[in-house]
Amino acid sequence: MSCIDCGDAVMKEAREIVEKIGSEPEKVIPLLQEIQNRHGYLSQDLVEAVAEVVEIPVSRLYGVATFYSQFRFTPMGKNLVKICKGTACHVGGAEKVYSIITEELGVGEGGTTADGLFTVEAVACLGCCSLAPVVMINDNIYGKISPAKMGKILKEYADGK
């Protein structure tokens, strides 16, 4: 098992990651989380390099990664838009907010805009049910979203907030 396409820089980063997180079997998820924290997604060469450093099959890392919804396998846009689809948001009109966002940005769930500015995700619940419907952009939560308000917020981010 070796990572044929991995350059020295990738191997170096993989070793850094493993040194920081550890290489015990129970560290598989934290290792994947660290890769995603650094790059916004699980890049194939880095996953392969980490597998090589830890000396486990790549398939095991991917087996775990594909089970959990947190992990992404394609690069993420500059801003991550998470649309809450929890019960309270659903009852409060999350579908309307969802259609505004997907219409405005021209991409569906899981998609990234062509200009690389936005990635759209739907999440089950952000736990801010009192403010339904809720949208989270990067680390900021926006509550009581109306379609008009949503358009304004997206524009702010597009203009480089």
Write the CB contacts of 92 (distance below 8 Å, at least 6 apart in sequence). 132, 133
Contact stretch for other proteins (CB under 8 A) within 9-17, 67-75, 111-119, 153-161: 67-75
Instruction: Work out whether 28 is an interface residue with other proteins (CB under 8 A).
Output: yes
3-state secondary structure of 135: strand
14 or 101: whose CB is closer to other proteins? Answer: 101
Is-contact 83 98, C-beta < 8 A?
yes
Within 10 angstroms of residue 16's Cβ, the number of other Cβ atoms is 13
Instruction: Work out whether 153 is an interface residue with other proteins (CB under 8 A).
Output: no
The two structure tokens encoding residue 145: 């979203």
Instruction: Work out whether 152 is an interface residue with other proteins (CB under 8 A).
Output: no
Report the interhelical angle of 44-54 vs 28-39 (nearest 10°): 150
Residues 101-140 that bind other proteins (CB under 8 A): 103, 123-132, 134, 139
Q: Which residues bind other proteins (CB under 8 A)?
A: 24-30, 32-33, 63-64, 67-71, 85-93, 96, 99-100, 103, 123-132, 134, 139, 141-143, 146-148
